């Protein structure tokens, strides 16, 4: 790759690329990410759609906030169980809406640490569910 082809203007994400300089030497340049520069909007749109779709599933009581974060963070049940320090069978149970409400604070904290979020943020997904339910009620 020639140096001129490697220069990408993307201050948000800088990286090192090895290119052929004018003197024929293969050396590093600091440049921008091609993907972030051209397709960040597409990534954000897909992420937004996924979040909305998962929130709808929480609203329909099909999944729990643990499932929501697991999918968003691209984790498997095995990986999540190892990271949270919980048995796989337990994690599988916690992915279901009906079991989430029974979780003790300590377990919630274990999940929150993995997802780098707070218990409050996890619970707020359920609260949103309640709010939406309330909003959906017709005013008599």
Partner 1 sequence: MSNTNFKHKMAAHCESGAVTSLLNNAGLEITEPMVFGISSGIFFGYFHKMRSFAFPTFIVRNKPGSIRNNLAKRLGVKFHTEKFRDADKGMKRLDELVEKNLPVAVQVDFFYMDYLPEWERVHINVHFIVVVGKMGSKYIISDSYFPKLVELEVASLKKARFAGGSMSPKGFLFYPEFIPKEIDYPKAILKGTKKVCFNMLKIPMPFLGIKGIRTFGKKIVDWPSFARDTEHLSHEIMKINILLEDQGTGGAGFRFMYASFLQQGAVLLNKPEWTLLSKEMMEIGDGWRDISLFASRIGKNRDLEPDKLKELGMMINERADVEERFFHRLKNSLN
Give the nearer residue to partner 1 in terms of CB position, either 35 or 120: 35
Give the nearer residue to partner 1 in terms of CB position, either 16 or 136: 16
Q: How far is the CB of 119 from partner 1 (least distance, A)?
A: 15
Q: How far is the CB of 78 from partner 1 (least distance, A)?
A: 4
**CB neighbour burial string for 45-79, b if at least 16 within 10 angstroms, e if fewer:** eeeeeeeeebbebbbeeebbbbbbbbbeeebeeee
Instruction: Give the residues lining the site for partner 1 (CB under 8 A).
Output: 1, 6, 12-20, 25-28, 30, 33-36, 38-40, 42-44, 46-47, 49-50, 73-76, 78-80, 82-85, 113-114, 116
Q: Which uninterrupted H or E stretch holds 30?
A: strand 26-32
Give the nearer residue to partner 1 in terms of CB position, either 2 or 61: 2
Q: Which residues pair with 16 in a beta bridge?
A: 30
- What are 123's two structure tokens? 């619970």
- What are 133's two structure tokens? 């339910």
Q: How far is the CB of 97 from partner 1 (least distance, A)?
A: 18
């Amino acid at each position: 790759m020639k140096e001129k082809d490697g220069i990408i203007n993307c201050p948000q994400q800088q990286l090192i690329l090895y290119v052929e300089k004018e003197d024929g030497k293969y050396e590093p340049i600091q440049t921008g990410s091609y993907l972030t520069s051209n397709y960040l909007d597409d990534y954000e749109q897909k992420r937004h759609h996924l979040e909305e779709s998962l929130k709808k599933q929480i609203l329909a009581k099909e999944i729990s906030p643990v499932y929501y974060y697991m999918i968003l963070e691209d984790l498997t049940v095995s990986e999540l169980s190892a990271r949270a320090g919980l048995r796989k069978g337990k994690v599988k149970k916690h992915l279901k809406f009906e079991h989430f409400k029974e979780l003790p604070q300590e377990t919630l904290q274990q999940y929150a640490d993995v997802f780098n979020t707070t218990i409050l943020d996890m619970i707020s997904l359920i609260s949103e569910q309640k709010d939406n339910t309330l909003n959906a009620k017709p005013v008599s």
